[in-house]
Amino acid sequence: MPELPEVETVVRGIRPGLVGNTITRLELLHPRVYRHSDPNVLRCIVEGATIQDVTRRGKFILLHLDGNRPPLAIHLRMSGKLLFDDSALHSPHLRASVYLDEGPALHFVDTRTFGTFFLVDGTEPNGFRTLGPEPLSSQFTRAEFARILGASRTPIKTYLLMQDKIAGIGNIYASEALWMARVSPKLPAGTLNDEQISHLHRAIRKVLRDAVKQMGTTFSDFRRPGGQPGEYGNNLHVYGRAGETCPRCRQPIERMVQHGRSTFFCPKCQRGPRRD
């Protein structure tokens, strides 16, 4: 699933083509796209609205509309892509199109049909309503991070993926930040000491900022609005590199499964608790 850097890349890519334009028509071509909303209400509110801004909240894209209308949220999920390319009209996986008064339409192509469109009007899904703080915001301080970790016994890698704790972090960047901070992914979140909290707080922000600069990571589905892949993949230190040597200590990188998700780590740089 696209994480914060990939979604931020999409936002920056589509913003110039959307802001100031009026939505003339919203086509919803698959029922799963509007499964959280009444499609007639969606169209009624969105059509005729001028887009004032495009922002991101966690892994969600928000189109802010004029006239006190609620924002239109788009969740790409696993395989969703937003493209200013009319060749998408010929795709069997075209799920929605946003037609504008000027310029090309914005098309939503989604192979797995997990992506959704909905209004942020109080009826949005819980996954949006309960989002935690943004890790790149000024509010995400070291003290706030320590408060979020609390006394939780959940392994820190799994904890970082919980969107109600911190918004936007996914599997790739959680593994990378933990490696950078030299923190074991197995450690219970609430047992990190002050030094580990400080190192991990800095690592989360650095990894995410660097990935945004490189326009995200592409392994399979993610593409920028122009169709290009993200460029951060060559900068990954541990994710997807099981069996390769750690760039810091030359120990082989290992992979394990935590709560159904792959975790990549260095067993020497990121030593776990003694009981491990």
Does 186 qualify as catalytic in the annotation? no
Q: Side chain identity at 79, as an amino acid letter?
A: S
CB 169 within 8 A of CB 189: no
What 3 state SS string does the chain have?
Answer: CCCHHHHHHHHHHHHHHHCCCEEEEEEECCHHHHCCCCHHHHHHHHCCCEEEEEEEECCEEEEEECCCCCCEEEECCCCEEEECCHHHHHCCCEEEEEEECCCCCEEEEECCCCCEEEECCCCCCHHHHCCCCCCCCCCCCHHHHHHHHCCCCCEHHHHHCCCCCCCCCCHHHHHHHHHHHCCCCCCEHHHCCHHHHHHHHHHHHHHHHHHHHCCCCCCCCCCCCCCCCCCHHHHCCCCCCCCCECCCCCCECEEEEECCEEEEECCCCCCCCCCC
Catalytic residue chosen out of the listed positions 59, 186, 223, 241: 59
Per the annotation, the verdict on 59 as an active-site residue is yes
In the residue annotation, 6 being an active-site residue is answered as no
Catalytic residue, candidates 261, 267, 268, 271: 261
Determine whether 255 is an active site residue.
Answer: no
Question: Parallel, antiparallel, or unpaired: how do β-strands 72-75 and 116-119 relate?
Answer: antiparallel
What residues are annotated to the active site? 2-3, 59, 261
